[in-house]
């Protein structure tokens, strides 16, 4: 069945736990934002709810924040099966999936699962600072000690404007270990063509990922664009105008871009 032939289910009255809030019926398009390893949807708390007529929809994964009592999702493929079913009713208008670092992988897997189901599909899957599936696993966290991971998490909490309380770091480490287990076993040696376009982002001051390391994404879609944005690895946390304008243009091609102030890049290097 083609994506255009697939009938999108009516959005349910009660939205799924994988979304922080019920998507608006008034939005012209939606951007679903996937968090990366060890954290939840609150990592997008500095993002606006709307970019013009495009709604930002943070995705919440099990075993963290308001879902901390739920079992971990296991693998990205298992997670994608659930997310595809839960997001399907909200793909009734143009959509973009956005993931940064390891968050790119469940975003991609969810799009791949939707393709297997016959759609509907996001217009674009935006993968930021993340190598393609055939080059996975690649994450410097995989070989770190708990002490080093705790230091990195503390830095991230501060970069997001919070305080690194030891109990918070301990709880986050528990989730991070499970997320890293999912990352550690993720690998797709044989690329398939995703119906959606793919935009692979790098950041000008990110020491972790070189643009050449993302070229593997060209095997996964007929339309792949490589783009570099200004900032360090955590710059996306502040929803910089360069990123939000890009997401708006991908969700609503040709629509006037909203006037947005340029945010200061967040510090940090994971």
Sequential DSSP letters for 3-71 = GGGSPPPPPPSS--TTBSSPPPTT-SEEEEEE--TT--GGGGTTS-SEETTEEEEEB--TTSGGGTTSP
- At 102-133, the pLDDT tens digits run 999 999 999 999 999 998 999 999 999 999 99
Q: Once rounded to an integer, what is the mean pLDDT over residues 189-196?
A: 96
- Both structure tokens of 136: 């996975």
| pLDDT for position 231 | 97
Percent pLDDT > 70 in the chain is 91
Q: What are the residues facing 97 on neighbouring strands?
A: 32, 125
CB 30 within 8 A of CB 24: no
- At 58-93, the pLDDT tens digits run 999 999 999 999 999 999 999 999 999 999 999 999
pTM over cut 0.85: yes
């Amino acid at each position: 069945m083609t994506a255009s032939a697939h009938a999108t289910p009516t959005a349910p009255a009660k939205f799924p736990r994988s979304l922080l809030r019920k998507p608006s019926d008034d939005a012209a398009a939606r951007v679903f934002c996937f968090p990366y390893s060890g954290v939840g949807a609150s990592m997008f708390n500095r993002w606006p709810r709307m970019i013009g007529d495009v709604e930002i929809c943070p995705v919440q994964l099990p075993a963290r924040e308001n879902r901390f009592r739920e079992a971990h999702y296991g693998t990205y493929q298992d997670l994608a099966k659930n997310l595809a079913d839960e997001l399907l009713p909200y793909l009734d208008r143009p959509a973009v999936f956005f993931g940064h670092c390891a968050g790119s992988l469940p975003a991609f897997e969810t799009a791949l699962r939707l393709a297997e189901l016959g759609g509907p599909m996001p217009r674009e899957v935006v993968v930021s600072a993340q190598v393609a599936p055939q080059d996975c696993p690649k994450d410097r966290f995989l070989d770190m000690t708990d002490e080093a991971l705790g230091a990195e998490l503390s830095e991230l909490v501060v970069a997001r404007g919070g305080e690194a309380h030891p109990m918070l770091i301990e709880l986050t480490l528990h989730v991070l270990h499970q997320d890293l287990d999912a990352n550690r076993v993720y690998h797709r040696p044989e690329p398939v063509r995703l119906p959606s376009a793919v935009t692979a982002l790098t950041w000008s001051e990110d020491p972790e990922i070189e643009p050449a390391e993302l070229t593997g994404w060209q095997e996964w879609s007929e339309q792949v664009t490589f783009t570099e944005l200004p900032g360090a690895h955590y710059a996306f946390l502040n929803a910089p105008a360069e990123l939000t304008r890009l997401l708006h243009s991908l969700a609503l091609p040709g629509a006037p871009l909203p006037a947005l102030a340029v945010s200061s890049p967040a510090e940090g290097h994971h």
